[in-house]
């Protein structure tokens, strides 16, 4: 299932603070989440671009993953009531965390990133157990955890393909 894409009338009426604005920038990955078509895919594509363009060392990639997950969970938690509704579609930092997890133990080559992108998007949309159920968790945790589970599924499939078949 896809995320809700519209704001709820229950969004707070107070003016956003500086921390609110920072959370929105992080949660929407610099605005990628406001894409009018497939914001989750847009967020995943931003992740692919970062993973391809930044020359991460293995420890650096792990630190990046942990930082995106922790800061992204905070930002998603804070942005959710500002955007209205549960897990609004504009929040896509969870896709960045999940996509990063999908390649965490693999070489960051274009073929690996391409296969990871496709598999991650499939698992993120289908939400096999326990991903769907994890969405019931509150706030930012519920927003991020299902994407981490999708990332784990993608990592497992790519790891098997890469280990057994040497592909991609």
pTM: 0.91
Task: Tell the residue number behind the tokens 């896509």, with chain if given.
Answer: 92
Q: What is the pLDDT of residue 2?
A: 47
Going along the chain, which residue ranges are E strands? none
Model confidence pLDDT, tens digit, residues 26-80: 999 999 999 999 999 999 999 999 999 999 999 999 999 999 999 999 999 999 9
Q: Worst-scoring range by mean pLDDT, 54-58, 70-74, 92-96, 163-167? A: 163-167
For 55, the 3-state DSSP assignment is: coil
pLDDT at 85: 87
Q: Say what the pLDDT of residue 5 is.
A: 44
CA distance 85 to 140: 13
DSSP states of 67-111 as a string? Answer: HHHHHHHHHHHHHHHHH-SSSBTT--HHHHHHHHHHTTTS---HH
CB 48 within 8 A of CB 112: no
Does the pLDDT at position 4 exceed 70? no
φ, ψ for residue 4 (rounded to 5)? -65, 140
Handedness of CA 8, 11, 17, 23 (dihedral sign): negative
The tokens of 81 are what?
A: 């009531």
Mean pLDDT across 88-92? 97
- pLDDT over threshold 50, residue 122: yes
């Amino acid at each position: 299932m896809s995320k809700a894409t519209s704001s709820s009338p229950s969004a707070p009426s107070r003016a956003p603070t500086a921390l609110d604005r920072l959370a929105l920038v992080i949660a929407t990955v610099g605005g990628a989440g406001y894409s009018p078509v497939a914001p989750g895919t847009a967020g995943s594509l931003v992740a692919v671009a970062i993973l391809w363009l930044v020359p991460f060392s293995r420890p650096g990639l792990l630190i990046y993953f942990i930082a995106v997950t922790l800061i992204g969970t905070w930002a998603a938690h804070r942005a959710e009531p500002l955007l209205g509704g549960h897990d609004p579609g504009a929040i896509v930092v969870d896709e960045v965390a999940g996509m990063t997890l999908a390649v965490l133990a693999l070489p960051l080559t274009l073929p690996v990133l391409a296969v990871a992108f496709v598999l991650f998007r499939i698992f993120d949309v289908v939400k096999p157990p326990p991903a769907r159920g994890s969405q019931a968790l509150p706030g930012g945790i519920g927003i991020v955890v299902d994407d981490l589970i999708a990332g784990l599924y993608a990592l497992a499939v790519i790891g098997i393909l890469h280990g057994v078949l040497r592909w991609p």
